[in-house]
Structure 1
Amino acid sequence: MSVSAVLLLALAAAGCAPASAPGSGSGSGPGPGGEDSAKNWQQASEKIVEQTLADEGIPGAAISATRDGEAWEFVTGEADTESKTPVEPGTPFAYRSITKSFTGTAILMLVDKGEIGLDEPVATYVEGVPSGDLVTIRMLLGMRSGLPEYTMSERFQALLNQDPTREWSDSEILELAFQQPMAFDPGTQYKYTNTNTVVLGQVLESVRGRSWSTVVDEMLLGPLKLDSVDYPDNRAKPEGTAVPYQVHENDELETLPDVRASLFSAAGGLFGTVGDLRTWAAALGSAQLLQPKTADERFAHASPTEGDPTSPLYDQYGLGMGEFHGWIGHTGVGLGYQALAMYHPDTGDSIAIVMNGAGADPDVPAKMFEKLLAEWDEK
């Protein structure tokens, strides 16, 4: 099976062979509900995580959450099935499309500073974007630009199959995207694409004169002390990163090649631990780094997602982040990794999930999240 086919999730249904090993959880003491209450929801949650991995055939996962002031972290399964290396709390995973929320937040922070205008055309900042005089920064953030998806380019798929570990550049990715026709007139529809956020990475570079990842590091990672979060670009992935696996219909695991983070760039290239991802979920959902006026813009004109069959599982998508059952955050999936980061603005609860396996269903973390919410409501 081709790597590009895996990337596009053109696979049969996921297998259901058990792939997880016993896990271990950790907390920081009883919350308002008392020690017994905390143990109840944590133990129930652990069962949901382990059952999901068994049902989906995913080797390993980590979850970090806060609920009613109670912190909880749980790891289970294997980061590397060949060496039998277990998942640890400090094991890095690829965040994939959750990277979009980092890039989008950096853009919004520069809106706060008056360096970027939400309704300015992207041509103000980046040359060569099709309909760049009509596509605005707001449209890029909200997935309403009409720019074509670069991973759908036949040339991109051919290059990826020829050498899955090849190095990529943003200019190459965008050239492959822009050789395709626009999907629709700018601003008229919602269509989730990676191209939008790669262009936003170029906007960051144009405005600040440094790579998008350096801007994100300076503006987000440093202030929030997200020490594990890294963009490897064309380097090897961070040491100790969980091995990515594709789960096939016949219950077999395929070890996937270590594609370069540059393949996803500002749309999906970040790696990090589950603990740092939960910290990010809280910062993202609470708009910790934004001025109130800009924070209000995030969902002022959000798009329902049901019209896009390829969209991740959100109720609506705003500016670089989604809303799901009242929670704000982002999910990510691609080439052997799945992840979720969510925060509830009313309760202050937050959750992060990372996995090192993917099959036909690109929404496993979101569906597991729904099961966790149902269990938490009962507890």
Structure 2
Amino acid sequence: MTLDRARVAELLAEYGIPSAAIGILHNGQITEFAVGVKNIETREPATTDTVYQCGSMTKTWTALAFMQLVDEGKVDLDEPVRTYLPGFTVADPEVSAEVTSRQLLYHTNGIEEAYGDPGEGDDVYECMVENIADAPQVFPLGHTHGYSAALGYAILARILEVLDGKRWDDVMRDRLFDPMGLTSTSSWHEHVDETRAATGHLIRCMDEGPIVTPIDYLPRAFGPGGGITSTIREVLTMAHVLLNEGMAPNGKRIVSAESIREMTRSRVPVPDPYTFGPQWSLGLIVCDWHGETVYATDGSTIGQNARLRLLPDSDTAIAMLTNGGPRESFYRKVFTETLTDLGTVTIPDLPAPDPTLSLDFARYEGVYERPGARYEVSAEAGTLYLTLALDPMQAEFLQKPDRIRYELLPVSETHFLMPPTDPLEDTQTVAIYDFTNGAARYLHTNCRVNPRSE
């Protein structure tokens, strides 16, 4: 691999990211290195032993542990959740009775993340399940894909807790971390060795440079969906399990080969196929890179980011952990240059707008929202626009206006490019779709779905 520290250091400076740890697993051999600093205030250098927050990459770990229950015959993915959590209830009686573990793993359950404040105690996932008795549906069960940041995988964690008779954190240690020989991977920030931990950073403007995040860790509610911290080598240990039919590098079987096949081949379509990939499987995103199937698992916390790509056809995995960002163009540059050196398939570019499309803008115009997110789509002088309403506190901290208007450039009747308005942003993609009653019912971006409200 010829992508060297100097090139990564150059890209880190360009993007205002303090550090990155990068690792490649290729034909069973690991190459890894780290560049930059763990904390811009202490200037302590990052190393390959630095512990980073993995964010939603955690969902893949939780899915692996859950598939062990499937292997043991304790869970059927297509049995209702109520089979294992008898009191499970949400606002919709049909969803209460019928939602399955597979739909939670897929993000097609549609349950709103209305779990209140479950606290930081050991009963957090039990409380989350109790607190959603009145949680409404964002969309009908199984109707579309809509990413669940915390709730869906917290319900899976509660099933693990009930069946194993222990906390989710202990389940992960006993089922995954210890058998895989992981000594630097934790599911709860209180177990992290702070002397080895990277500090998260945000960036408001390039002149100011990165600043330390005001929020050190996500709440414990996000544990099963975003709470794992790890090193670059130990992330690649998980990658090894996924690439080698469930076997860890130390020779221990973590899950069956059949479960790995199920995790990768059981899929649902994603409305916006361009941000990550066109399908979602069980704890993994399915990408199409120039006709080759690649699996992805990513994560972001408030100031840290994780990226992992699995290329089964070339027995390759590439991972990157950073304490700044996220910037898709940074990840694309690093991964594309590395994969080119390896002679493997590389990341496809975003699609180009289609200027020949003639759209009826009235079908798209409207407000699409959920708690904490509001998107207003409007037309003006033959152009479609999306106005994003930011949380006022977030806008003030990031020194941004509380309303940002983006132009939408059509790629197809349902897909749009959204060019940045700020040099600190990348082009995003948006799907506006489901014209059952004439007007679009949903807006899907960054994997999240937002129903039309007006």
Instruction: Tell me the TM-score normalised to structure 1 length.
Output: 0.76
Separation of aligned partners in 1, 2:268 and 2:54: 23
Change (3 A) 1:296 1:363: farther
**Which of 339, 345, 348 pairs up with 2:315?**
348
Question: Is this contact kept in 1: 2:53–2:227, CA < 8 A?
Answer: yes
Alignment of 1:27-46 (within 5 A): 42-44=1-3, 46=5
Residue 97 of structure 2 aligns to a residue whose secondary structure is coil
Change (3 A) 1:304 1:224: same
Which residue in 2 is equivalent to 1:30? Answer: none
Which residue in 2 is equivalent to 1:258? Answer: 216
Matched, 1:57 2:20: no
Q: How many residues align?
A: 323
Which residue in 2 is equivalent to 1:275? Answer: 233
**Which of 227, 251, 259 pairs up with 1:294?**
259
Question: Is this contact kept in 1: 2:81–2:88, CA < 8 A?
Answer: no
Change (3 A) 1:211 1:167: closer
Question: Is this contact kept in 1: 2:89–2:132, CA < 8 A?
Answer: no
Q: CA deviation at 1:172?
A: 4.9
Q: CA deviation at 1:68?
A: 4.6
Question: Is this contact kept in 2: 1:333–1:362, CA < 8 A?
Answer: no
Change (3 A) 1:340 1:55: same
Alignment of 1:27-176 (within 5 A): 42-44=1-3, 46=5, 49-68=8-27, 70-126=29-85, 127-130=87-90, 131-150=95-114, 167=120, 169-174=124-129
Residue 30 of structure 2 aligns to a residue whose secondary structure is strand
Q: CA deviation at 1:48?
A: 5.3
Question: Is this contact kept in 2: 1:122–1:129, CA < 8 A?
Answer: no
Residue 182 of structure 1 aligns to a residue whose secondary structure is coil
Percent of pairs with identical residues: 25
Residue 154 of structure 2 aligns to a residue whose secondary structure is helix
Residue 264 of structure 1 aligns to a residue whose secondary structure is helix
Separation of aligned partners in 1, 2:331 and 2:198: 17
Please tell me the residue identity of whatever aligns with 1:123: R
Q: CA offsets per residue over residues 260-298 of structure 1, 9 Å max, x none?
A: 551411111111111111111111343313323333222
Matched, 1:305 2:270: yes
Change (3 A) 1:365 1:263: farther
Which residue in 2 is equivalent to 1:244? Answer: 200
Residue 328 of structure 1 aligns to a residue whose secondary structure is strand
Question: Is this contact kept in 1: 2:242–2:260, CA < 8 A?
Answer: no
Q: 295-304 or 77-86, which moves further after superposition?
A: 295-304
Please tell me the residue identity of whatever aligns with 2:323: N
Question: Is this contact kept in 2: 1:192–1:308, CA < 8 A?
Answer: no
More helix by share: 1
Matched, 1:372 2:338: yes
Q: CA offsets per residue over residues 19-74 of structure 1, 9 Å max, x none?
A: xxxxxxxxxxxxxxxxxxxxxxx233545533432232110010111235553111
Change (3 A) 1:78 1:47: same
Which residue in 1 is equivalent to 2:141? Answer: 186
Change (3 A) 1:272 1:252: same
Separation of aligned partners in 1, 2:334 and 2:133: 36
Instruction: Tell me the TM-score normalised to structure 2 length.
Output: 0.65
Q: CA deviation at 1:258?
A: 1.7
Question: Is this contact kept in 1: 2:145–2:271, CA < 8 A?
Answer: no
Question: Is this contact kept in 1: 2:68–2:255, CA < 8 A?
Answer: yes
Question: Is this contact kept in 2: 1:247–1:254, CA < 8 A?
Answer: yes
Q: CA deviation at 1:318?
A: 0.2
Separation of aligned partners in 1, 2:176 and 2:313: 23
Q: 342-351 or 113-122, which moves further after superposition?
A: 342-351
Separation of aligned partners in 2, 1:356 and 1:176: 33
Question: Is this contact kept in 1: 2:145–2:270, CA < 8 A?
Answer: yes
Q: 254-263 or 210-219, which moves further after superposition?
A: 254-263
Q: CA deviation at 1:186?
A: 1.4
Separation of aligned partners in 2, 1:229 and 1:72: 19
Q: CA deviation at 1:128?
A: 3.1
**Which of 294, 304, 314 pairs up with 1:337?**
304
**Which of 282, 291, 308 pairs up with 1:319?**
282
Q: CA deviation at 1:132?
A: 2.7
Which residue in 2 is equivalent to 1:34? Answer: none
Bigger-Rg structure (1/2): 2
Q: CA offsets per residue over residues 287-345 of structure 1, 9 Å max, x none?
A: 31332333322233312324489xx6234210111223323341111211101223322
Question: Is this contact kept in 2: 1:301–1:318, CA < 8 A?
Answer: yes
Q: CA deviation at 1:205?
A: 0.6
Change (3 A) 1:183 1:363: farther
Change (3 A) 1:351 1:274: same
Please tell me the residue identity of whatever aligns with 1:243: T
Cα RMSD after superposing both structures = 2.8
Change (3 A) 1:48 1:115: farther
Please tell me the residue identity of whatever aligns with 2:111: L
Residue 202 of structure 1 aligns to a residue whose secondary structure is helix
Separation of aligned partners in 2, 1:298 and 1:69: 21
Residue 79 of structure 1 aligns to a residue whose secondary structure is coil
